[in-house]
Amino acid sequence: MATDTINSTLSASSDTNLIRCHECHFQVNVPKLANKQAALCPRCKLQLTAYHQNGSQKIIALALTALVFLVASLPFEFLSFSASGQSQSINLLNSFDVLIENNYEILALLEAIFMLILPSSILLTLLYVLIPLELGFRLPKTDAAVDVIFLLIPWAMAEIFLIGVLVSLTKIMSLADIAIGLSFYAYVFFTIFMTITLYYVDKHQLKKSLNTNYVEIHSQINKSLSVQKTWALLVTSVLLYIPANVLPIMHTNTLGNDEPSTILGGVILLWKMGSYPIAIIIFIASVFVPLAKLFILCWLNYSVQVESDQKKTERIYWYRVTEFVGRWSMVDVFVVAILVSLIQLDNLMSIVPGYAALAFCGVVICTMLAAITFDSRLIWLTSKTEKGRIINDG
């Protein structure tokens, strides 16, 4: 699936598409692309678009396959847990029921939204847009549907949920016997095909398939609003980060003994158990990444507030890093949800979530929203000439 890249230029021709980079607001004319070729913004190096021959047909086939595996992952056993003659098994749907029955409705809702509802919604919306186009017509509101797809993609976390399951298994392998059911393997294949589907999804190509004369319209730049929203979300994230790391993220009750565990405590326990790779993953995803993202976003927001003209390339790079890695911090929340759903053996052993689970989830969501509200175009909006050009261009 390798893709060649070319740098777009300002030269116009009959075989070019006018595209404005949504990260630096640079307007370029992209030449006609060959199969598996991508166009990069000449200023900030963002991939503007990529062309795949028969891309629509590939997306339809892959999306249908992913949905088949998702449906197959629902009715069968997902995981089972047994200790001292008692056992517990779950499928994906009754895992939500277990959480709700134990009064963890918010955790159940978040898990359902991120690992089931949003991924399936994205796939179904893609089919809603592309199947009619392949048949020679288009359904109502398809332009809006494409916009919705790209709003939802950052929040679909099937692959992160899967990593959370693997971490959960590592944590409890020494406590009991674990069995993996058919639904687990079906969900693995769903995640693989979902990932490949999104690889072929390109907003510009989708919009062009709906309207050959498509020109993307960007929102107006409002520095004050962007900076204020981002600061508000970052302050909220900092306030939530403290209880998320100080309070227990879960409690393990064994024969009446309550053993609270913080995020860092869980990392230390995994390290002592010899699960070094998993301990490192959890430390990076749940401790290092949220803190680093907070520092980076504060630096970026301050730099645009004071209209810094320094290190533009470095700043756009770190902005993209925060966008990419921030969602992976949800892995610890999924770990808690899986363990709570799976381990409910009455007085013998049970796991319940702590308040830190919701606080940490709030940190992840707020930092993701902060990255969204931060307008990266402001990085390039520093000189009077540049301000005038961007504002006049719209």
Taken in order 137, 139, 143, 148, the sign of the CA dihedral is: negative
Contact status, residue 316 vs residue 41, Cβ threshold 8 Å: no
Residue 59 is encoded by which pair of tokens? 């997306």
Hey, where are the domains in the chain?
4-51, 55-200+223-393
Nearest CA-CA partner of 171 in 290, 238, 59, 269:
269
Cut 0.95: pTM above it: no
Report mean pLDDT in 10-residue bins for the chain, 394 residues. Answer: 53 59 84 87 88 91 97 90 74 85 86 94 95 90 91 93 86 75 94 95 88 69 91 96 89 74 81 78 84 94 90 91 87 84 71 86 93 91 54 44
How much is the pLDDT for 152?
94
DSSP per-residue letters across 2-30? --EEEE-BS---TTEEEEE-TTT--EEEE
How much is the pLDDT for 119?
96
Q: Residue 94 — φ and ψ, nearest 5°?
A: -75, -10
Q: Which residues contact 200 (CB under 8 A, 6 or more apart)?
A: 52, 55, 58, 59, 62
